[in-house]
Amino acid sequence: GLISLEFLNLCNNNLSGAIPKSLEKLLDLKYLIVSFNRLEREIPTEGCFSNFSSTSFMKNFSLFGPPRLLVPPCKNDIQENSQMNILHALRYGLPTIGIVAVLIVLTIMYRRCQSRSTTLPIEDDLLSLKTLRRILHAELSQATNGFEENNMLGSRSFGYVYKERFSDGMEVAIKVFNLRTEEAFRSFYIECDAMRNIDHRNIVKVTTCCSSVDFKALVLDYMSNGNIKKYVASAIEHLHNGHPTPLIHCDLKPSNILLDEDIVAHVGDFGIAKLLGECDVMKQTMTLATIGYMALGSVLRLDEQLTSRLEESFCLDDMMTLRLDNTMPHHDVAT
């Protein structure tokens, strides 16, 4: 009898529980209505159930089944879909995230390298001169008796200059920078950059340097005869025209022109020098030059190569106008 059942209407009978899967065996069942009950769990999908529509199961408590019956999908399908979504996200998301992360890291590294290369030279490239040897802070301190005042040759805005004698008897001048000021810190690198390729008999040579986080010093040839007030055209001509990158000293004055044991003049102190490279780009520290010997471009902020060279020639002429009473050139400037 039930096997040949064709129509079954159980609508609004307060039925609960699951729809029996045994109903799938009723092959002659053409119409089934179980709406408005409290049925739950999965709707059978085999046999006669493959022909039923959503109207057969509407308004029940918690039925699950295929999308065509307009009921929520089965929990297994939800879990399976969720897993598929996660797999798709991992498959396409992880490579994208990895590429973005690599690009970010490369960008940060590039900017750091670019910042270091444009602001401060690399320590190993500070001086490409023929150095006597690697010098340590302890050696400098020992040779100058802890940088005693008795060994001091002079003091300037950047720091102090000391006389030192190495164990081999060689005398040198130690230029110690006061790193508590930003100008002195930058002046150290500017002077290294300016002097590493300069080689001229009238220019004080930097033989080596000592550089650490909290101590920076230059070791220079010691000029035993002190400084003089003399025109040093040979050195300036070499700086302007005898080198691939023209160099403007910016602080020519008698005390920056020194004599060695053979009474040969040397131009020193390149702490505020200008390097005239391609496109007239200049490197310069923020330290001001000595009033009266300052290049006009330092005041007027002119950066043309020709103007800078004429200014330095003007400074040389100005330096030679020192009167016998040692009056400085800036004393004649009208106020």
Q: Which residues are catalytic?
A: 251
- φ and ψ of 102, to 5 deg: -65, -40
Q: Which two tokens stand for residue 22?
A: 């045994």
User: Parallel, antiparallel, or unpaired for β 152-155 and 159-165?
Assistant: antiparallel
Q: Treating both helix axes as pointing N-terminal to C-terminal, what angle do 233-241 and 305-319 enclose, rounded to 10 degrees? A: 170
Q: Is residue 46 packed enough to be buried (19+ CB in 10 Å), middle (13-18) or exposed (0-12)?
A: exposed
**In whole angstroms, what is the distance from residue 259 CA to residue 286 CA?**
28
Q: Which residues on adjacent β-strands are paired with residue 175?
A: 161, 218
Q: Is the dihedral of CA 122, 126, 127, 133 positive or negative?
A: negative
Angle at 326 between CA 320 and CA 328, to 5 degrees: 65
